[in-house]
Structure 1
Amino acid sequence: MNEEYDVIIVGSGPNGLAAASYLQKQGYKTAIFEQAEKPGGAARTEEITLPGFKHDLGSAVHPLAFASPYFKTLPLEDYGLQWIHPEIPFAHPFEDGTAFGCYKDIRKTAEQLGEDEQNYLDLLLDFVEEWPELEEDLLAPLRLPQNLEMMFRFGLKALPSAKFIAERFFKEEKSKIFFYGAAAHSTLPLSKLVSSSFGLVLNILAHRHGWPFPEGGAVKIVDSLLAYYKDQGGKIYLNQTVSDLEELPSSKTFILDLTPKQILKIKNTDLSKTYRSRLEKYKYGAGIFKMDWALDNPIPFTNEICKKAGTVHFGYSKESLEDSEAAAHENRLSSEPYVLLAQPSLFDSSRAPAGKHTAWAYCHVPNGNTEDVSKHIENQIERAAPGFKKSIIAKSTLRTNELQELNPNLIGGDINGGKQDISQLFTRPIASINPYATSNPKIFIGSSSTPPGGGVHGMGGYYAAKSAEKFLQKK
Structure 2
Amino acid sequence: MTSSDVVVVGSGPNGLAAGVILARAGLRVEIREGAPELGGGLRSKALFDSGVVHDVCSAVHPMAAAARFFREFDLPGRGVELCRPEIAYGHPLDGGRAGLAYGSLTQTCEHLGVDGARYRWLMAPLVEHSQSLVDAFLSDLRRLPPDPLALLQLPARVLAQGTSLVWRQFRGAAAPAMLAGIAGHAIGKLPSLTAGGIVLLLGHLAHVNGWPVPRGGSRRITNAMADDILAHNGILHTGTPVTDLKELAKFRAVLLDVGPRGLVDLAGPLLPASYRRRLEAYRYGPAVAKVDFLVSEPIPWANPELRKAGTVHVCGDQAEVFASENAAVRGRLPDRPYVLLSEPMVADPSRGLPGKRPVWAYCHVPNGDPVDPAAKIRRQIERFAPGFSDTILASQSTTAPQIAAYNANYVGGDIATGAVNLRQFLARPVPRWNPYRTPIEGVYLCSAATPPGPGVHGMCGYFAAKSVLRNEFGITELPSLAPLSLVGNGGTA
Q: How does 1:221-370 map to 2 (within 5 A)?
A: 221-248=221-248, 250-267=250-267, 270-370=270-370
Give distance in 2, aligned partners of 1:27 and 1:313: 44
Give the aligned partner of residue 54 of structure 1: 53
Give distance in 2, aligned partners of 1:75 and 1:48: 29
Give distance in 2, aligned partners of 1:153 and 1:238: 45
State the 1:469 CA deviation.
Answer: 0.6
2:161–2:199: 8 Å Cα contact kept in structure 1? no
Instruction: Name the SS for the 2:397 alignment partner.
Output: strand
1:19–1:462: 8 Å Cα contact kept in structure 2? yes
Give distance in 2, aligned partners of 1:100 and 1:18: 35
Q: Which segment drifts farther, 46-55 or 19-28?
A: 46-55
Q: Which segment drifts farther, 285-294 or 174-183?
A: 174-183
State the 1:306 CA deviation.
Answer: 0.6
Give distance in 2, aligned partners of 1:269 and 1:395: 44
- Tell me the alpha carbon deviations over residues 174-200 of structure 1, each in whole angstroms, 9 at most, x when there is no partner: 221111011111112213332111111
Give distance in 2, aligned partners of 1:30 and 1:56: 28
Pick closer, same or farther for the CA change 1:203–1:325 going to 2, 3 Å: same
Give the aligned partner of residue 377 of structure 1: 377
Give the aligned partner of residue 107 of structure 1: 106
State the 1:474 CA deviation.
Answer: 4.2
- Tell me the alpha carbon deviations over residues 191-244 of structure 1, each in whole angstroms, 9 at most, x when there is no partner: 333211111111111111100011010111101110111111111111111111
Instruction: State how many pairs are aligned.
Output: 473
Give the aligned partner of residue 151 of structure 1: 151
1:403–1:413: 8 Å Cα contact kept in structure 2? yes
Q: Which segment drifts farther, 335-344 or 313-322?
A: 313-322
State the 1:45 CA deviation.
Answer: 0.7
State the 1:169 CA deviation.
Answer: 2.3
Q: How does 1:199-238 map to 2 (within 5 A)?
A: 199-238=199-238
Q: How does 1:158-169 map to 2 (within 5 A)?
A: 158=158, 162=162, 164-169=164-169
Give distance in 1, aligned partners of 2:182 and 2:165: 13
Instruction: Name the SS for the 1:322 alignment partner.
Output: helix
Instruction: Name the SS for the 1:254 alignment partner.
Output: strand
Pick closer, same or farther for the CA change 1:444–1:159 going to 2, 3 Å: farther
Give distance in 1, aligned partners of 2:77 and 2:269: 38
Give the aligned partner of residue 96 of structure 1: 95
Pick closer, same or farther for the CA change 1:160–1:10 going to 2, 3 Å: farther
Instruction: Name the SS for the 2:51 alignment partner.
Output: coil
Give distance in 2, aligned partners of 1:7 and 1:269: 22
Matched, 1:442 2:442: yes
Whichever residue aligns with residue 198 of structure 2, its letter is: F
1:161–1:194: 8 Å Cα contact kept in structure 2? no
Pick closer, same or farther for the CA change 1:61–1:140 going to 2, 3 Å: same
Give distance in 2, aligned partners of 1:78 and 1:206: 22
Give distance in 1, aligned partners of 2:408 and 2:293: 24
Give distance in 2, aligned partners of 1:443 and 1:76: 29
Give distance in 2, aligned partners of 1:189 and 1:229: 39
Give distance in 2, aligned partners of 1:77 and 1:202: 21
Matched, 1:76 2:75: yes
State the 1:268 CA deviation.
Answer: 6.2
Give distance in 2, aligned partners of 1:429 and 1:409: 13
Instruction: Name the SS for the 1:361 alignment partner.
Output: strand
Give distance in 2, aligned partners of 1:443 and 1:156: 39
Q: Which segment drifts farther, 414-423 or 44-53?
A: 44-53
Whichever residue aligns with residue 113 of structure 1, its letter is: L
Give distance in 1, aligned partners of 2:259 and 2:224: 24
2:163–2:193: 8 Å Cα contact kept in structure 1? no
State the 1:426 CA deviation.
Answer: 3.1
Give distance in 1, aligned partners of 2:299 and 2:432: 47
Instruction: Name the SS for the 2:4 alignment partner.
Output: strand
Give distance in 2, aligned partners of 1:176 and 1:357: 31
Whichever residue aligns with residue 295 of structure 1, its letter is: V
Give distance in 2, aligned partners of 1:12 and 1:270: 24
- Tell me the alpha carbon deviations over residues 279-312 of structure 1, each in whole angstroms, 9 at most, x when there is no partner: 1111111101111100011111121211000001
- Provide the TM-score with structure 1 as the length reference: 0.96
Give distance in 2, aligned partners of 1:84 and 1:77: 10
Give distance in 1, aligned partners of 2:285 and 2:27: 36
1:161–1:190: 8 Å Cα contact kept in structure 2? no
Whichever residue aligns with residue 32 of structure 2, its letter is: F
- Tell me the alpha carbon deviations over residues 421-474 of structure 1, each in whole angstroms, 9 at most, x when there is no partner: 111113211122211111123111101111111111110001000011111234
Give distance in 2, aligned partners of 1:75 and 1:137: 20
Give the aligned partner of residue 19 of structure 1: 18
- Structure 1 residues without counterparts, runs of 5 or longer: none
Give distance in 1, aligned partners of 2:395 and 2:217: 18
- Provide the TM-score with structure 2 as the length reference: 0.92
Whichever residue aligns with residue 130 of structure 2, its letter is: W
Give distance in 2, aligned partners of 1:347 and 1:30: 36
2:161–2:196: 8 Å Cα contact kept in structure 1? yes
Give the aligned partner of residue 63 of structure 1: 62
State the 1:356 CA deviation.
Answer: 2.2
Instruction: Name the SS for the 1:194 alignment partner.
Output: helix
Give distance in 2, aligned partners of 1:144 and 1:73: 20
2:75–2:224: 8 Å Cα contact kept in structure 1? yes
Matched, 1:133 2:132: yes
Give distance in 2, aligned partners of 1:214 and 1:269: 42
Whichever residue aligns with residue 123 of structure 2, its letter is: L
Give distance in 1, aligned partners of 2:157 and 2:77: 39
Give distance in 1, aligned partners of 2:257 and 2:271: 16
Give distance in 2, aligned partners of 1:193 and 1:211: 23
Give the aligned partner of residue 412 of structure 1: 412
Q: Which segment drifts farther, 269-278 or 57-66?
A: 269-278
2:67–2:135: 8 Å Cα contact kept in structure 1? no
Pick closer, same or farther for the CA change 1:459–1:165 going to 2, 3 Å: farther
Identity of aligned residues (%): 37
- Tell me the alpha carbon deviations over residues 311-330 of structure 1, each in whole angstroms, 9 at most, x when there is no partner: 01112122221110001111
Give the aligned partner of residue 7 of structure 1: 6
Give distance in 1, aligned partners of 2:361 and 2:467: 37
Whichever residue aligns with residue 140 of structure 1, its letter is: S
Instruction: Name the SS for the 2:85 alignment partner.
Output: coil
Instruction: Name the SS for the 2:428 alignment partner.
Output: coil
Give distance in 1, aligned partners of 2:375 and 2:165: 32
Give distance in 2, aligned partners of 1:28 and 1:128: 38
Give the aligned partner of residue 398 of structure 1: 398
1:160–1:195: 8 Å Cα contact kept in structure 2? no
